Amino acid sequence: MSVNEVHVFRPFKLIALLCVFLALCLDLVALLSPAWVTADHFSLSLWESCSQSEARHPAEEEEEEAVWSCFSTLTSDWQIATLVLLVSGAVSTLVAFLVALISLCRGTHRQHYRTVAVFLFTAVVLQACALVLYPIKFIDGTVLQTYHEFNWGYGLGWGATIFMLGAGILFCLRTDIYEDAMY
DSSP letters of the chain? --TT------THHHHHHHHHHHHHHHHHHHHH-S-SEEETTEEE-SSEEEEEEEEEETTEEEEEEEEEEEEESTTSHHHHHHHHHHHHHHHHHHHHHHHHHHHHHHT-HHHHHHHHHHHHHHHHHHHHHHHHHHHHHHHHH----S-EEE-HHHHHHHHHHHHHHHHHHHHH---GGG-STT-
CB 28 within 8 A of CB 53: no
**Which domains can be identified in the chain, with CATH numbers?**
12-37+75-176 (1.20.140.150)
Per-residue pLDDT, 73: 79
- Give yes or no for residue 174 having a pLDDT over 60: yes
Residue with the larger pLDDT of the pair 87 and 176: 87
Share of the chain above pLDDT 90, in %: 39
Per-residue pLDDT, 183: 38
- Give yes or no for residue 130 having a pLDDT over 80: yes
pLDDT tens, position by position, 1-17: 556 665 455 688 889 99
pLDDT tens, position by position, 140-155: 876 556 677 888 999 9
Give the mean pLDDT of the chain: 81
SS (H, E, C) 69-102: EEEECCCCHHHHHHHHHHHHHHHHHHHHHHHHHH
State residue 44 phi and psi, 5-degree precision.
-135, 130
Closest to 125 (Cα-Cα) out of 93, 99, 151, 153: 93
Mean pLDDT over 31-36 rounds to: 88
Per-residue pLDDT, 182: 42
Mean pLDDT over 110-137 rounds to: 90
pLDDT tier at 128, thresholds 50, 70, 90 = very high
Cα 10 to the center of its chain, rounded Å: 27
